[in-house]
Every structure is written in structure tokens, then in C-alpha cells.
Amino acid sequence: MMALLMDTRLLMRKLKDLRSLTPRRNRVKEKWAATRPKYPPTTLALQHFDATYSIQLGQLWPSVRVALLSEKKYGALLNNFSYDDVLADLQAQGSRDFISDTDTQAQPCLEHKSADGVEEESSVDAVKKSDLSGQQLSPLQLSLNIKCAVFPRGDITRFKSARPDMFGLLSYYLMDAASVLPCLALDVQEGHSVLDLCAAPGGKTLALLQTQAIRFLCANDASVSRTLRLRRVLHSYVPKEVLTAEKLRITSFDGTKWGEIERNTFDRVLVDVPCTADRHSLMEDDNNIFSKSRTGERRGLPQVQLELLLAGIEAACPGGEIVYSTCTLSQIQNLRVVEQAICLAGENHGIRLEVVNLQPLTHMFKKTFHFAPDLELGEMVIPHLAANFGPIYMCKLKRLT
């Protein structure tokens, strides 16, 4: 019995010695496990969305929730600057360009919700009361230079990574296909000057450049590191001749201050704001806006979004058009921001705006995306298991003064 006790003690001491020799990385792992938050940001995001979207979306929420928690679907934005024409290859794999392959019954133009004759009313009331004027914008001809391949509904095949052509340019860029819609809604015309206020990492900038119609493009992003990513993306897809200082300016300014730098200038302005990025927030704990340390930043988002949209409105020229977009379902970050911006642009800057009806666009692409029904302002792609794109919200405004 005594011998057995001695053996056990010896064994315990040996184990203790062994533990002190354990490689450092294992000890770090133990510490990591002990300090792991009880509620990781992805869990907090899901709790928040369950509480808010179950009310906002009602019966739609359970199916949107399942889609958001499932693997997202990509589109391949074709690079017109690449020597390799890969559309035929992608079609042979079963995908199709959703932009040229639209619903043939759809109207090919956008309509304006006119706010004429109601100057003395608050601009939001005016916009809400207004009827469709039937006034027609030009057809989305130049936007048709933008091509984006997607696999059919229910087909979750993944695209392979793009390969460089003989000049080192990549033939397509993988992105959420619904992200192309705000670029189409912007309806860039030949010779336009365009401001992309929150441009990095550059998917939408690249889509806009595919029109090959822009006279001058200014791509801005407040984050220096993300602006570097934007530069890298552009250099991987666009020839040097297009990236000259006369045609393209890349900046890293705080977009909320843009009105102090440049007003009444651009024909088109894209305001693709930072938001709760719902899909990312549910999937990735890293860099998640729902982490406890970023609560203040998250709560401040609607104010930043409002300031960015107001700056974008000021940067547009009278007659110019602005598209506001997000990748969240949140009404507070979408509809409410646009409503307030319309009010404040009128009250503080004397700028009258009208909301452009994007329904014709949603009709064109209803084969590819699920759109939220009956939104008061703007349009929204909602995730669906059979077409797992989005969420993408977009609202288009036209400056009248």
C-alpha cells in the first residue's frame, strides 16, 4: 500500500514537471479559452437582430434569418479591361450574366417620384405625398457594360478564383451580386463626373469603372489601410492608362466633411456607408461591430450615415443624382437616415430633392434577387436560401436645386 502511494506521488510530480515543460503556445491556448467572451459578438448580433428584425420584418424574418446564417452566394463581376473574355467559360459552367438576362416584361427606365410644387412643406412629407410623375430617365444603357455572372437560383456552385491575363489583370472580381445594384441605380452616363464617397475595398468602384463612360472618378475612403486595399484592387483590374490623375483621384478624407471641401460638383454620387454589415456580424467574430468594445461606434452609426449622406448630397451638382446604400436590413440605418437627410438638406442647405423610384430596376432583376415588399423609401434585396444575396438597401435621390 505504502509503495503504491509513493508511486502515485512520483507520478504526480512527474506530471507537474512535464506541465512546466509544456510548449508556450499550449499555455497561451489555455489562457485564450479562459478569457473567451461568454457571448461572442456573433451571438450578440443574432440576439440584436432577433429582437429588432422579428418586429420589422414580421413573418419574413425566420426565412431571412436562416439565409443569413447560411453560406452566401457570390457573383463574378466581369472585368472589361481584361484581355481574357471569360464570360463564355463561366456560362459553360452554368452561370449567366444577370444584367443582360433580365425579365423581358420589365420597364427599361427609372421613374421619378416628383416633389414639385410643395416647396413650403417639409421635404419628406412632400416626397411621401408625391405620386409617380412618370418622368423618364435614360435607359440603363451604359450600365449594361457592367456584367455580373451568377449561378441559377438554388445552385450554390462556387466560382473559382480569377486568374491574371497576359498583362497581369484579373478577369473577374467576386462580390455579392446584389452590391452591383446600387451601381446600376446610379445610372452613369457618358462624360459624367462621379464621387464614390466610401469606396474601399472597391467592388462598387470597379463596377462603376466597367461602364467606361466616366470622365472623372473620385474614390474616397476614410480608412488609410482600406484605401490601400482599394488601390491594390484597382491595380489588379484596371490598366494604368485609366488610373491617371486626370481620370481618377483616390483620397482618404473623412467623408462627413466633404461638403467643406467640394460642393455642387459631381453628376453622380455613391454613398455606400459603413453599417452593421449584418451578414458579416453574424459570421465573423473578428472586426465585429457587435463586440463590446465597439458599442459606442455601433450606436453612432446612424449619425455618421446621416452626415455622410448629407455630405454626398452637397457634393452633387443641382440636377445630379445620389445613391445611398447599405448592407443592413435595419430601418434605422436605411429609411430613417434617408428621411432625415431629405429634411436637413432642405432646412440647413436649401437643397430640394426628389426620390427616384427604383421599382423598375427591381422588376428587371426579380428573377435573380428577392426584394423586400412595400418599402416606404428605397428598395432592399433580402437574403433567401434559393438566392442568398444581400442584404443590400438602396435609395436614389435627385437634386432639384
Ligand X SMILES: C[S@@+](CC[C@H](N)C(=O)[O-])C[C@H]1O[C@@H](n2cnc3c(N)ncnc32)[C@H](O)[C@@H]1O
Known binding positions for S-adenosyl-L-methionine: 198-204, 221, 254, 272
Smallest gap from residue 337 Cβ to ligand X (A): 14
- Return the DSSP state at 60: G
Cβ nearer to ligand X, comparing 123 with 179: 179
Q: Any contact of residue 254 with ligand X (CB under 6 A)? A: yes
Q: Any contact of residue 323 with ligand X (CB under 6 A)? A: no
Using CB under 6 A, which of 41, 203, 346, 390 touches ligand X?
A: 203
Distance of alpha carbon 248 from alpha carbon 196, whole angstroms: 11
CB 318 within 8 A of CB 389: no
Smallest gap from residue 269 Cβ to ligand X (A): 12
Backbone phi, then psi, for 397, in 5-degree steps?
-120, 145
Using CB under 6 A, which of 41, 75, 201, 346 touches ligand X?
A: 201
CB 116 within 8 A of CB 108: no
Smallest gap from residue 298 Cβ to ligand X (A): 13
CB 72 within 8 A of CB 279: yes
Q: Any contact of residue 391 with ligand X (CB under 6 A)? A: no
Cβ nearer to ligand X, comparing 186 with 222: 222
Smallest gap from residue 104 Cβ to ligand X (A): 29
Cβ nearer to ligand X, comparing 130 with 203: 203
Per the DSSP assignment, residues forming a β-bridge with 175 are 75
Distance of alpha carbon 39 from alpha carbon 277, whole angstroms: 19
Using CB under 6 A, which of 41, 274, 302, 390 touches ligand X?
A: 274
Using CB under 6 A, which of 41, 255, 302, 391 touches ligand X?
A: 255
Neighbours of 398 (CB within 10 A): 22
Q: Dihedral, CA atoms, 239, 207, 339, 114, nearest 10 degrees?
A: 100
Q: Any contact of residue 354 with ligand X (CB under 6 A)? A: no
Distance of alpha carbon 171 from alpha carbon 154, whole angstroms: 25
- Return the DSSP state at 384: B
What x/- string results for residues 166 through 195 when contact with ligand X is judged by CB under 6 A? Answer: -------------x----------------
- The residue whose Cβ lies closest to ligand X is 255
- Closest residue by Cα to residue 361 from 328, 333, 325, 318: 325
Contacts 24+ apart (CB under 8 A), 2-8: none
Smallest gap from residue 283 Cβ to ligand X (A): 16
Task: Give exposure, 236-275, as e/b (b: 16+ Cβ within 10 Å).
Answer: bbbeeeeeeeeebebbbbebbebbeeebebbbbbbbbbbb
Smallest gap from residue 167 Cβ to ligand X (A): 23
Residue that has been written with the C-alpha cell 423586400 in this structure: 372
CB 220 within 8 A of CB 266: no
Using CB under 6 A, which of 130, 256, 276, 331 touches ligand X?
A: 256
What x/- string results for residues 93 through 132 when contact with ligand X is judged by CB under 6 A? Answer: ----------------------------------------
Cβ nearer to ligand X, comparing 112 with 204: 204
Q: Dihedral, CA atoms, 175, 178, 183, 186, nearest 10 degrees?
A: -170
Q: Any contact of residue 312 with ligand X (CB under 6 A)? A: no
Pairing of strands 216-220, 248-251: parallel
What x/- string results for residues 209 through 248 when contact with ligand X is judged by CB under 6 A? Answer: -----------xxxx--x----------------------
Which range of residues in 40-48, 63-71, 89-97, 199-207 is near ligand X by CB under 6 A?
Answer: 199-207
* 327 catalytically annotated: yes
Which range of residues in 7-15, 98-106, 126-134, 202-210 is near ligand X by CB under 6 A?
Answer: 202-210
Q: Where are the beta strands (DSSP E) in 79-163?
A: 96-97, 111-113, 132-136, 148-150
Distance of alpha carbon 44 from alpha carbon 310, whole angstroms: 31
16: left (phi over 0), alpha (psi -120 to 50) or beta: alpha
Which range of residues in 41-49, 72-80, 196-204, 366-374 is near ligand X by CB under 6 A?
Answer: 196-204
Cβ nearer to ligand X, comparing 118 with 335: 335
Catalytic residue among 148, 327, 343, 395: 327
Smallest gap from residue 40 Cβ to ligand X (A): 22
Catalytic residue set: 327
Contact positions toward ligand X, by CB under 6 A? 179, 197-204, 220-223, 226, 254-256, 272, 274, 304
